[in-house]
Structure 1
Amino acid sequence: MLFLIAALRAIIEMLGLCLIGQGMLALLAGPKRQANPIYQLFALITHAPRRVVAHLLPKAAGEKTIGICCFVVLFCLWIGLALMRKFV
């Protein structure tokens, strides 16, 4: 059970770090970010959680809002799994 919690926490941590990296590249590269191969890799990795969060938000939510909300959800899951690991 502890291994499963640790594995899920590691996956969520990786997704969160990819979202941070994607956001930093978006700030640095600006509109040319779509041509950046690292940005494309981060977009590929974070596509599934961003799509899930986009379905939960209203249709008018922008790309930045979806990214920030996705990071907050992942962070809450990461903290929740840390607490679960501590008490299991």
Structure 2
Amino acid sequence: MLLFVSSVKLVAEIALLAFAGQWLLGLLAGAKRETNFFYRLLKVLTDPFVRAARWVSPKLVLDRHLPLVAFLVVLFLWVVSTLYKIQLCLEIGVQACR
């Protein structure tokens, strides 16, 4: 169970960093961000989460707000998995979690 929780936490961390990098690169690149190789690479990493956000969010949410919704959902998932990992580590012992 600890391995599963750690894996979910790791995937959430990678997605959060990809969202943050895409946002920052979008600010720096401006209007030409869609032609930037690294922006498109980060977009490939975040697209599955944005599609999942479209699936769980109501149709009232605009498509341009979906990356923010996806970021918030992944952030919530990261917080929950972190808290659950802490709980597991306290149950089995801190030394076993390393």
Q: TM-score, normalised by structure 1?
A: 0.90
- The residue number in structure 1 matching 2:62 is 61
Instruction: Give the unaligned 5+ runs of structure 1.
Output: none
Aligned length: 87
Bigger Rg over Cα: 2
Residue 47 (1) aligns with residue 47 (2): yes
AA paired with 1:62? Answer: D
After TM superposition, list the pairs within 5 Å mapping 1:68-79 onto structure 2. Answer: 68-79=68-79
AA paired with 2:74? Answer: L
CA deviations on 1:2-60 (whole Å, 9 max, x unpaired) are 11111110111000110011111111111100111100100001110101112333265
Q: 2: distance between equivalents of 1:20 and 1:69?
A: 13
Report runs of 4+ in structure 1 exceeding 3 Å deviation.
none
Q: 2: distance between equivalents of 1:23 and 1:82?
A: 24
Going from structure 1 to structure 2, the CA distance change for 1:34 and 1:14 (only over 3 Å counts) comes to same
**Structure with more relative contact order (C-alpha pairs < 8 Å, separation 6 or more):** 1
